[in-house]
Structure 1
């Protein structure tokens, strides 16, 4: 195996690993958001809520739902057939060998674009989760502080 082929194979594996890491992080963050929303519902359903607590509380919930939506869109499978196994499912074994042998650099570029899109969505979802959490903490402080 030549050094160039080895380097391409290593780059290909690295990009695929980064996509897997991002999907794992997104899954964990989705689980966290679900737990926070369940906790908010459990705690908030029995409390007397006023407009002072509802405003930041509902804004926090809406922000967390937006973060969850963004995460779901980032891990949604792409079955358009342009890349990866959907395309391979339409090829013969010989065509797959030819495509892999000649298009690994193209595959790395395509996977890298997918990874960057996923990274960006994950960053935005984390930012929204922080904002939503801050709003929920504000609603909790208002409720427990007696200002409501």
Structure 2
């Protein structure tokens, strides 16, 4: 394989990793909005429900899991200003250092960005799991409240 082919492949891999980070951030933002809406809606419904200890316990656990999911999502999109990639790196370099850095092999940058992408994806996956569990508990709480009211 010739040098231009390797450079082209590295540039494509670099772009792919950056695109995956962007896709993960978009999914995270959508899920965070969904979790916020579910929390707000659940609170609105729960305050008007008749008191039922089992429903309150299940609903409280569901809300706690949704709050934990929101925390994971916020952590996933939190900017990493101490990182070696992207804006923080470029902001610390002179024009000549940026040119030298860009002319070097992209392999280290791809590896670092890939670790960031995996960390973001893992946080998103855990938040989805917590959201599903929290939603199931909220449904259980609604069923318990409906069954207790009848």
Task: Give the structure-1-normalised TM-score.
Answer: 0.95
Q: Could you tell me which residue of structure 1 aligns to residue 99 of structure 2?
A: 97
Match of 2:75 among 66, 73, 76: 73
Is contact 2:61-2:137 (8 Å) kept? Answer: yes
Q: Could you tell me which residue of structure 2 aligns to residue 7 of structure 1?
A: 9
Q: Could you tell me which residue of structure 1 aligns to residue 119 of structure 2?
A: 117
The number of residue pairs the alignment matches comes to: 148
Deviations 1:30-65 (A, max 9, x none): 000000011101111111222111110000000000
Distance 1:132 1:97 in 2: 49
C-alpha displacement of 1:101: 1.5
Distance 1:109 1:138 in 2: 44
Where do 4+ consecutive residues of structure 1 move more than 3 Å? none
RMSD in angstroms over aligned alpha carbons? Answer: 1.4
Q: Could you tell me which residue of structure 1 aligns to residue 31 of structure 2?
A: 29
Match of 1:47 among 46, 49, 53: 49
Q: Which runs of no fewer than 5 residues in structure 2 stay unpaired?
A: none
Q: Could you tell me which residue of structure 1 aligns to residue 133 of structure 2?
A: 131
Is contact 2:32-2:70 (8 Å) kept? Answer: yes
Q: Could you tell me which residue of structure 2 aligns to residue 63 of structure 1?
A: 65
Match of 2:20 among 2, 18, 21: 18
Q: Which runs of no fewer than 5 residues in structure 1 stay unpaired?
A: none
- Between stretches 138-147 and 59-68, larger displacement belongs to 138-147
Distance 1:22 1:94 in 2: 33
Distance 2:96 2:66 in 1: 47
